[in-house]
Amino acid sequence: MSIMEKLLADSNFGALKAHSVVKAKITEIRDDKFVIVDINGKSEGFIPQSEFPDMAEVQVGGEIEVYLERLENKDGTPTVSYDRAQQIRKWESIEANCQEGSVVQGRVKAVVKGGLIVSVGVDAFMPSSQIDVNPPKSLEPYVGQTFDFKIIKINKDKKNLVVSRRELIEEQRGESRRKLLEEVKPGVVRRGVVKNITDYGAFVDLDGLDGLLHVTDMSWGRIGHPSEVVKVGEEITVMVVEVDRERERVSLGLKQTQPNPWEGIEKRYPAGQKVKGKVVNLVAYGAFVEIEGGVEGLVHVSELSWTKRIQKPSDILKVGQEVETVILNVNKDEQKISLGVRQLEANPWEKVRHNYPVGARVRGKVRNLTNYGAFVELEDGIDGMVHVSDMSWTRRINNPAEVMKKGDEVEAIVLDVDVDQQRISLGVKQTQTDPWSEIDRKFRIGDLVTGKVSKIANFGAFVELSDEIDGLVHVSQLAEQRVENVKDVVKVSQEVTARVIKIDKEDRRIGLSIKAANYDADRLQAEISSYERIRGPSTSGAPASSGSGSSSSSSSSGDFNSLGDLLDKAGN
């Protein structure tokens, strides 16, 4: 037997296999670089000292396990690794003792794409989403730190291990949340960290229990957005306002930890007191003015001026402007204060009754027209209203635009003054004598009159007489023969001659007859009598002359009860 064969027979070299864990003896620690080990093979192996966590524990003569990767490398020495052997043994321990859901302790080794490498005896991967409840912006601060981790996935074939720190935190927070829900009560004050901000408020972390701090509970004053009051990550003191244990919801308040400025508000701001404040908001109906921190009052648009017609507050005010106001009313329960600006000056309407007594004749310019009348400006900010019924004694006016327009200067009589409602009633027709008061001197039954047709209706024609008095020629009084269509006989603006056959002073109406214009006295009297039998008696005097004669036929189409009915229809 040769020397080599004897050596091989005496050694364990033939039993060594690559890719296995073998025992080794430390023979030398060389130059702070390598640990030399004897695996009972042909030659010794070299292990970098960096593979040993603590070199103080490495002693010459000590026994360790190493991973034999290759029996010989190009230098003729075996390739061995202490770290790989530890990894294998630890994997065996994990496979034997751990399962998905187990909790292990580990140290973060390095940052890799998508997460961190964590040493839990073996290298495990922790995705970024599993690091914390809120994914961190940077992973570097975690390197070197030791935490507890939950195993969420084990792949024995590929020797892959995935761990999570977030799941443990969530479980801990869940337990803390349940405990807090049992403890917290409305009125309790706690510290918390602002976790998230929305348009309607902020979520505050109360050591595992999230509470909603609504924007309305952040400040006694006006807030545009929650970010004006709190910042993410800020620690704040809040009060528990409401607890819903079934839904695990807690409502919080920040303003409740501060004095309520509305306490004693009536004593600080009695009605009539002048106060200065800052305009904080403008709306269509008024301006909100902050008179102290957390206390705002509303100046309604109607309280901005006694005389100016202000359409919107922004015409005279702007946000941030300092203004002086007067306290009008305080409602502590609803936390509302009514303010006024015009009350800083004397009310010009208090002089209106003296300046514009009932019966006074005034002049003014038409400022505006409505369906029911015209507004006449008597002085700056003081208007009077002329109703359509007070525009003419004789004409039925449906719209004021029929007789006047904006900018016209008119003369009127003051009919009524209501200072409380700031209203002055005016009349234009009252500047003239009512022609119907002297109707007996102007017209008598039987008179022959001339006028122009002003309006045509299906039952007759209206004729304008003197003093703008209209008379009605009923269709039965247009001609001797039966008339089917009034327009076949007369036209608007046509001048006609007719007889007065009826005067109704009570209803202010005159009945005319064109067909009787050329009747002699007897026929006229007969026609009048026939008309009165059908239409009702006149309230004016008898005809100028009378006599005997045959009566003309009074048949007509579209018979009516009274002349007043006809005028009503014509007016409509």
CATH number for position 499: 2.40.50.140
Residue with tokens 């502590």: 332
Contact predicate 43/61, CB 8 Å: no
Whole-angstrom Cα distance, residue 23 to residue 64?
A: 6
Q: What's the one-letter identity of residue 240?
A: V
CA distance linking residue 147 with residue 53, whole number of Å? 18
Instruction: Return the number of other C-beta atoms located less than 10 Å from residue 446's C-beta.
Output: 20
Task: Tell me, yes or no, whether 292 lies in a domain.
Answer: yes
Domain end position, chosen among 86, 106, 124: 86
CB 222 within 8 A of CB 276: no
- pLDDT tops 90 at residue 206: no
Tell me, yes or no, whether 567 and 454 share the same domain: yes
Same domain (yes/no): 444, 562: yes
Same domain, 393 and 477: no
Task: Give me the number of domains the chain comprises.
Answer: 6
> Which amino acid belongs to residue 485?
N
pLDDT at 12 over 60: no
Token pair for residue 165? Answer: 């720190």
C-alpha span between 515 and 512 (Å, rounded): 9
The count of other CB atoms within 10 Å of the CB of residue 39 is 20
Strands 146-155 and 448-457: unpaired
Q: Which residue has the tokens 């904006």?
A: 406
Q: Which two structure tokens, joined as six digits, stand for 183?
A: 């403890």
Q: Contact 408/366 with Cβ under 8 angstroms?
A: yes
Q: What is the pLDDT of residues 102-157, one digit of tens each?
A: 888 889 999 999 999 998 878 889 999 999 887 888 999 999 999 999 988 888 77
Looking at the fold, whether 564 and 475 belong to one and the same domain comes out as yes
What's the rounded Cα separation, in Å, for the pair 311 and 565? 44
Q: Write out the residue range of the structural domain in which residue 224 sits.
A: 184-257
74 shares a domain with 39: yes
The conformational region for residue 114 under phi > 0 = left, psi -120 to 50 = alpha, else beta, is left
What average pLDDT does the segment 294-315 reach?
A: 87
| Domain stop point among 325, 344, 363 | 344
Distance CA 425, CA 302 (A): 21
Residue 470 lies in a domain: yes
Task: State the pLDDT at residue 536.
Answer: 58
Domain finish residue from 30, 51, 86: 86
Give residue 158's Cα distance to chain centre: 59
pLDDT of residue 214 exceeding 70: yes
Q: Count CB neighbours of 296 within 10 A.
A: 22
Tell me the pLDDT tens digit for each residue of 53-104. 888 888 888 898 898 888 888 888 898 998 888 888 888 877 777 777 888 8
Residues 427 and 447 in one domain: no
445 and 466, same domain (yes or no): yes
pTM of the full predicted structure? 0.44
The residue type at 569: K
Q: Is residue 92 part of a domain?
A: no
Residues 489, 384 share a domain: no
Give the single-character DSSP code of 508: T
Q: Whole-angstrom Cα distance, residue 543 to residue 500?
A: 9
| Residue of higher predicted confidence among 323 and 558 | 323
